[in-house]
Amino acid sequence: MKTVMVTGGAGFFGGILKRTILESGDRAISVDVCPDEDEHPNLDKRQIDLRDREALDKVFASTRIDGVVHCAAMLAHGSEDPKELWTSNVDGTRNLMDAMRKYGVRQHVFTSTNCLWGEAMGRPVREDDPPNPVELYGRSKLEAERIILDYPDINCCVVLPSSILGGWACFLFCSSSSMRDGGYGQWAEAATGINLFMRAI
């Protein structure tokens, strides 16, 4: 039985991933600033802020963790304070990576965004196209990706969703490589996308 931490586990997509982990027979640790209403014998719920290094350390110290799926993020429409958004998405990611390194957790999936390219190019994004986010959310996600690069000892898969729709409907997803290699992404059943996440852990 694997133990997978899902940050943002009380949220929409994090919740789908968390429940899929549990249904597969594995154990999930849901980490979120919001209360998690789900109940399951193999679900460990921790209502903490990723910016709280001490609280995060306690979670990692309390149990063996095989991998982390990092879905937690402050969205632009979810915060009126730009500093709150930046520290949540950037400092929270740095704290998470530090804890993973400290406790030897080597598998990581990071949910980024296609907002790294803020203006339409009229063609698919290429590998050599530099990211150019035009709003704070995209800039915070780009900075989080740069932070992750400082941890080469941790295996990280970065996924750039465009849209996530409906409970088990579908979402538009791209891996970082497929999008930059010229694909606009593709619509897929949520379960298909979740399988991609799970194979990375």
Question: Which residues neighbour 156 within 8 Å (Cβ) at sequence distance 6 or greater?
Answer: 108, 109, 110, 148
User: Rounded CA gap, 88 and 102, in Å?
Assistant: 20
Is residue 78 within 8 A of residue 8, CB to CB? The reply is no
Is pLDDT at 181 greater than 50 in this prediction? no
Q: Is 170 helix (H, G, I), strand (E, B) or coil?
A: strand
Q: What is the DSSP letter of 132?
A: B
CATH superfamily entry for domain 3-199: NAD(P)-binding Rossmann-like Domain (3.40.50.720)
User: Rounded CA gap, 83 and 68, in Å?
Assistant: 25
Per-residue model confidence (pLDDT) at position 153: 96
Per-residue model confidence (pLDDT) at position 26: 95
Q: Is the pTM of this model over 0.85?
A: no
Per-residue model confidence (pLDDT) at position 124: 76
Per-residue model confidence (pLDDT) at position 113: 74
Is residue 85 within 8 A of residue 125, CB to CB? The reply is no
Is pLDDT at 116 greater than 60 in this prediction? yes
**Cα separation of the two ends of the chain:** 13
User: Rounded CA gap, 144 and 163, in Å?
Assistant: 20
Which residues are marked as active site?
137
